[in-house]
Structure 1
């Protein structure tokens, strides 16, 4: 099932998500649907709040970011109840976008290395290290479950310059090639 993507302006995107209990109904189906939704929208990551569920779950597939011939360095994974253990290394800028904020891309600075603890879809706990673009995708999606958007990392000036675009998105005045859900307006 392909979910509509929740647009900027919906309070679920600003809410710190809740841990998922092990008996969460049909969790594997939800994860499968999130991957399907992410691929349909041409994304490399999708967090549960972006489909209207305030739970600590996100999926990523960083393979499209990898250079030709290095796709095996990409990571396809679900993260359940993740906890960021460490962010380290040099900060570097990268032009980020977000499925919930279509048509907006800005340079965001993040540290190059992370260590994260999480459960996989079989409720096996892991603590793994990631770097470069895979770390960035994870940091972006982790921010979503903390109620943080990539635009929160921008300077005050950049935020003011984007205010009009963000307001339009929140009111449903946006072009996206996937279904979206707008706070108070429903699906389009």
Structure 2
């Protein structure tokens, strides 16, 4: 397995819709294994193939709720259904998200609290995931990546302006920027 570079906001792959996977073969399975290793090293709770420069409809996820069991998997060619999001301002404490393609920043965003995702697993078998809370947030966040969007595109003011100012300070917003997660031993 290999840790892959993670593209940073501004790279064209991140801002274009991903293509459906037509055949699930060893190359796709290797990509998914590498995505898990990359996500874990980052560390993150989700990673979409476009974030590692591969414009395919695949994402991985891994989350352990407080006191709960590990929830982990990969989904290929997902479709997402959700209940409508609530109106109002996001809660800064409970609704802030980060993104591996916009590293080291978190901003609050309102998301639907209940989603259903269907797609294929790594063996090409149909899978359906029905989740709420942070699991639903993760599914929506990663699904956005497959449609050429990052969560900062959905931010309300003043958070959107703060995110764009941060990106400008970092020198992001141009092709070719990436970072490589490092495995921390211990």
Whether TM-score is above 0.5 comes out as yes
Instruction: Answer yes or no: is the 8 Å Cα contact 1:12–1:49 preserved in 2.
Output: yes
1:83 paired residue number: 79
Write out aligned runs for 1:8-87 (5 A): 8-24=9-25, 26-63=27-64, 66-68=65-67, 70=68, 72=69, 74-84=70-80, 86-87=81-82
1:168 paired residue number: 169
Looking at structure 2, the residues matched to 186 and 97 of structure 1 have their Cα atoms a distance apart, in angstroms, of: 16
Count matched residues: 173
Looking at structure 2, the residues matched to 31 and 186 of structure 1 have their Cα atoms a distance apart, in angstroms, of: 19
Match of 1:183 among 175, 178, 186: 175
2:144 paired residue number: 143
Instruction: Answer yes or no: is the 8 Å Cα contact 1:87–1:114 preserved in 2.
Output: yes
1:101 paired residue number: 102
Q: TM-score, normalised by structure 2?
A: 0.84
CA RMSD, Structure 1 to Structure 2 (Å): 2.1
Unaligned segments of structure 1, at least 5 residues: 173-181
Instruction: Answer yes or no: is the 8 Å Cα contact 1:112–1:135 preserved in 2.
Output: yes
Looking at structure 2, the residues matched to 109 and 186 of structure 1 have their Cα atoms a distance apart, in angstroms, of: 27
